[in-house]
Structure 1
Amino acid sequence: MSGPAGAYARHNWRPVLWSMPPLLVVLVIAVYPIVRVLAESTVTSDGRGTAVWSQTLSSESFRAALWRTISIAVFSTAGCLVLGTFLAIVLAFVPFPGSALVGRLIDTILTMPSFLITLAFTFLYGTAGALNALVTDITGHRTPLLDFLSTPLGVILAEITFFTPFVVRPLLAGFAQLPREQLDVAASLGASPWRVLRQVVLPEAWPALAAGGSLVLLLTLNEFGIVLFTGAKGVTTLPALIYTHGIVTFDLPGAAVLASVQVLLSLSLYIGYRLVFARFTDRTGKES
């Protein structure tokens, strides 16, 4: 085929050819492992053909791990939203010496692996940590005063410490786009700082807050390093249970079932976030 028709056909095929390499990369890196895990989860656990799915999902360990995973993720996300919103408001609207340094420190936390935060917690709040040693020197009591690190509370506090910057950074970007004239007009009309914050600042920051909160919820739902390094007794989340089945007991079909549930939870959360965010964006666009 030659002439204009041939040139038009080659032009139509060019985008398809350019899309093939990234498509192959996605298939190899993302799709194939998920398909392989799903295929492994269909293997029977014994010669009688007992389904691994029913055996794994009906176990008490799975139900406890699922509840623990969701509860830790929800409480950690709530703490990150409260603390992150407070820090972002202070950094954006309350100038103080060293605010730029604090912002840089927050960015630095984003570059660190999660287990470093856990190690820092151990050195500070562990039974042999600095604070307990100080209390022992002052009071003379040998029993550690702080003993929460190996509990669900310790995991939640460590996750709040590590994941709060994922809320602060989007909020600071959202606050930076807020017109200062709008704040000045509201203040000139006699509005109190709390009213300006509630009626002017926060409504404009909802998309950034939703984005940061959804990201934190997704990350805490899949967090494994903090749970592992705290050594929390009785705190078994789904990622920790997957590790136990796949690495410790070498129960690959059971680990594949748990991993499939973890993937379904993450995808459901992501899809729900996209639907809510799209609806919020459409409503905001119509109101403006």
Structure 2
Amino acid sequence: MTTDLTPCTAPTTTPDVHAARPGARRGRRLRGAAPLLWAAPPVALLAVFFLYPLALVVRQSVQPDTGGVSLKPYADVFASPAFREALWTTVWLALASTAGCLVLGFLLALVIAFVPFPGARAVARFIDVFLSFPSFLITLALLFVYGRTGLANGLWTGATGAPDGPFAFLTTPWGVLLAEVTYFTPFVMRPLLAAFAQLDTAQLEAAGSLGARAPRIVRQVIWPEALPALAAGGSLVLVLCLNEFGIVLFTGAKGVTTLPMLVYGKAILESDYPGACVVAVVNVLISVGLYGLYRVVSRRAGA
């Protein structure tokens, strides 16, 4: 009688690969659909609250009051001297304000970052708070100081006995320029202070120990580090100045008509809705183009 000592092995079963595939496919479909599900609500909100109103503005710009679809509103607006004057005023005010913000912002950021004085940190933090202020608030403060019945004119008339003070520039383009430079300069200072905070102080110390004076240190050491931040901040300020409405309105500069003010005048005062939409479309195209430039500059600058 022989005994079979061969170990008994349990029958092995191979997993049914084909049976597991439908579940894996469903999982992949769910994982692939998850980004779409997450993206659907913000895209829907964007379409309802931004794209749809913008589409209505574009549609209204090609629908004259006589009915139908025509480019006549564009031809009428482009042929209007008021539009050309508003476009020129908008461009030169935006360029001049941006230049003023760059110069003033660079000088103030230099003082705050590299000139030790009590309260420098508090001033730097106040700049962050200043960015949240509405533009009309700054304009209102300037009116209290330099308006026709403001503090400066009051002191002048009280000291000289004159019926009127000499400060009447707030209702001119120069008043709008001053208000925009005052309000938008911190938008240049903020990226500059961030760039200066990353600057290696050893370079400044080495330059000073080699006998370099402050102007040369600024020109050869600080200026190259500041260029990317200046480019990014200046591009942003240019876009914001092109679309500024509150400052021009609150200064009461009746002779200053920018594109946003022209939209307001045509829509509210003249009831020329096709013309207002044409100006709005032009303003949007200019702003989007400059914003694209701002994004390119910011990406290359790493800001």
Taking structure 2 as the reference length, the TM-score comes to 0.87
The equivalent residue for 2:246 is 225
DSSP-derived class of the 1:173 partner: helix
Q: For 1:123-178, what per-residue CA distance to the aligned partner results, in whole angstroms no more than 9, with x for missing partners? A: 11111111111111222222321110100000000111111111111111111111
The equivalent residue for 2:25 is 5
DSSP-derived class of the 2:169 partner: coil
Q: Is the 8 A contact 1:45 1:52 kept in 2?
A: no
When residues 50 and 175 of structure 1 are mapped into structure 2, their CA distance, relative to the original with a 3 A threshold, is closer
Moved more, 46-55 or 178-187: 46-55
DSSP-derived class of the 1:2 partner: helix
CA distance in 1, matches of 2:29, 2:67: 56
Q: 2:60 aligns with which of 37, 40, 47?
A: 40
The equivalent residue for 1:204 is 225
Q: CA RMSD in A?
A: 1.8
Equivalent position amino acid for 2:66 in 1: D
The answer as to 2:198 corresponding to 1:177 is yes
Equivalent position amino acid for 2:184 in 1: F
The equivalent residue for 1:96 is 117
Q: Is the 8 A contact 1:183 1:196 kept in 2?
A: yes
Counterparts of 1:66-215 in structure 2, within 5 Å, are 66-215=87-236
Q: Is the 8 A contact 2:170 2:176 kept in 1?
A: yes
Q: Is the 8 A contact 1:45 1:51 kept in 2?
A: no
When residues 175 and 280 of structure 1 are mapped into structure 2, their CA distance, relative to the original with a 3 A threshold, is closer
Q: Is the 8 A contact 1:68 1:237 kept in 2?
A: yes
Once the two structures are TM-superposed, the CA of residue 107 in structure 1 deviates from its matched residue by 2.8
When residues 105 and 278 of structure 1 are mapped into structure 2, their CA distance, relative to the original with a 3 A threshold, is closer
Q: For 1:11-61, what per-residue CA distance to the aligned partner results, in whole angstroms no more than 9, with x for missing partners? A: 222222222122222222222222111011010243696711101111011
Uncovered stretches (5+) of structure 1, i.e. residues with no partner: 282-288
The equivalent residue for 2:261 is 240
DSSP-derived class of the 2:62 partner: coil
Q: Is the 8 A contact 1:114 1:162 kept in 2?
A: yes
Once the two structures are TM-superposed, the CA of residue 118 in structure 1 deviates from its matched residue by 1.2
Uncovered stretches (5+) of structure 2, i.e. residues with no partner: 1-20
CA distance in 2, matches of 1:50, 1:94: 58
The equivalent residue for 1:267 is 288
CA distance in 1, matches of 2:259, 2:272: 15
CA distance in 1, matches of 2:126, 2:204: 28
Once the two structures are TM-superposed, the CA of residue 122 in structure 1 deviates from its matched residue by 1.1
CA distance in 2, matches of 1:47, 1:166: 45
Taking structure 1 as the reference length, the TM-score comes to 0.92
Q: 1:25 aligns with which of 39, 45, 59?
A: 45
Moved more, 235-244 or 42-51: 42-51
Equivalent position amino acid for 1:189 in 2: L
User: What is the percentage of aligned positions where both structures have the same residue?
Assistant: 53
Once the two structures are TM-superposed, the CA of residue 225 in structure 1 deviates from its matched residue by 0.5
The answer as to 2:250 corresponding to 1:252 is no
DSSP-derived class of the 2:122 partner: helix
Equivalent position amino acid for 1:240 in 2: M
CA distance in 2, matches of 1:40, 1:211: 35
